[in-house]
Amino acid sequence: METDYTFFQNLGYAVLALMVVGTLYNLLIPMLEGDKMKKRMKSVSSARDAMREQRMRELNNQNRNLRTSNRGKIKTFVDNLSLEKLLEATDLKDKLAQAGMRGQKPIYMFYFFRFALPIVLGIIGLVFLVGLNVINKTMYQNVTITVFMIAAGYYLPGVYIKNVATKRATSIGAVFPDALDLLLICVESGMSVELAFGRVSKEMAENSVELAEEFSLTTAELSYLQSRRQAFENLARRNASPGIRSVSTALVQSERYGTPLGDTLRTLANENRQMRVMAAEKKAAALPAKLTVPMILFFLPVLFIVILTPAAMRISSAF
């Protein structure tokens, strides 16, 4: 009987000791762990630094060829003649960026062609028009045409860049609402803006290389620029598409005032989708007017031949 009492007493002591140890463990472990928030912020900062380094390496690899190829004859020619000051163009970098041309090489090529084309076309006009008179015009007319050729050579590089930028904006605008839907899904799933842009750029690479390139560049700028607002403004400046510019403005306002980004993206996605539908309806409404001239030139003569030929054959056989 005494043995049973001793056993239960020892068991009680053991349970009491376990309770004391558990209480001490719960009290002391939080103190030993330190500041969890500080550790989390440190991990986020290290992840951000790693992302920044990765994006910088990607940009360096992409632009390495441009940096090495800039040191060529065209760059030397442009620098020696100071064509950047002589033929200065306003907002040239922004226009080239809207056309998908980045780096220093397109700038030097633009100034070279703006300088060379008027000279080449002027020589052609003087030799073949003024000198040889191959089109049989008067001297005044040949000189006027030569002057117009020189002016056209000066403006042709700008027209070409504008045309490429317009086609690029049209290509981006066709798939931009889908990209906004993907961006909305990523943001509402808990991703940060940097990760969301990076994910959407990978997903949209098959549908639109231009849009994937823009989103990838925005991801890089969000990673290494100190201000996100600057990255969003750069996105708007690099694109002539009104949809991208409206989204950039909304992102800047969301960053400044703290408005919910999900609701903003959902509204903008609907607006861009409506803009795409309206553009398709506009093209469909313009088809009858565009088809008028081809119908007059090609369809009506054939129709008259088909209708009048049997009648003419019968009249000729009757007489």
Are 123 and 190 within one domain? no
Are 249 and 268 within one domain? yes
∠11-17-20 over CA atoms, to 5°? 145
CA–CA distance, 198 with 186 (Å, rounded to integer): 10
* Average pLDDT over every residue of 8-34: 64
Are 247 and 176 within one domain? yes
Q: What is the structure's pLDDT at 52?
A: 65
Question: Is this prediction's pTM over 0.85?
Answer: no
Are 213 and 151 within one domain? no
Q: What is the structure's pLDDT at 9?
A: 64
Mean per-residue pLDDT of the chain: 80
From 17-31, 126-140, 242-256, the region with the lowest mean pLDDT: 17-31
Give the pLDDT band of residue 124 (cuts 50, 70, 90). very high
Are 107 and 154 within one domain? yes
Q: What is the structure's pLDDT at 8?
A: 58
DSSP letter assigned to residue 206? T
Residue 129 lies in a domain: yes
- Last residue in a domain, options 112, 145, 165: 165
Residue 293 lies in a domain: no
pLDDT tens track for 46-101 = 655 666 666 666 666 655 544 444 457 888 888 887 787 777 777 888 889 888 88
How many domains is the chain partitioned into structurally? 2
State the CB neighbour count (10 A cutoff) for residue 158.
14
Residue 232 lies in a domain: yes
Residue 19 lies in a domain: no
Q: What is the structure's pLDDT at 160?
A: 92
Residue 45 has pLDDT above 60, yes or no: no
Q: What is the structure's pLDDT at 307?
A: 86
- Last residue in a domain, options 165, 200, 228: 165
Residue 59 lies in a domain: no
The number of C-alpha atoms within 13 Å of 27 and in the hemisphere containing its C-beta is 6
Are 187 and 253 within one domain? yes
Residue 61 lies in a domain: no
Residue 29 lies in a domain: no
CA–CA distance, 52 with 219 (Å, rounded to integer): 9
Give the pLDDT band of residue 37 (cuts 50, 70, 90). very low
Are 160 and 179 within one domain? no
Are 261 and 178 within one domain? yes
Residue 42 lies in a domain: no
Residue 185 Cα distances to 194, 207, 257, 266, angstroms: 14, 18, 22, 10
Q: What is the structure's pLDDT at 44?
A: 45
Are 176 and 279 within one domain? yes
Are 120 and 215 within one domain? no
Are 252 and 177 within one domain? yes
Are 196 and 272 within one domain? yes
Q: What is the structure's pLDDT at 276?
A: 79
Percentage of the chain modeled with pLDDT above 70:
78
Q: For residues 295 and 289, is the Cβ–Cβ distance under 8 A?
A: no
Please give the residue range of the domain that contains residue 108: 72-165
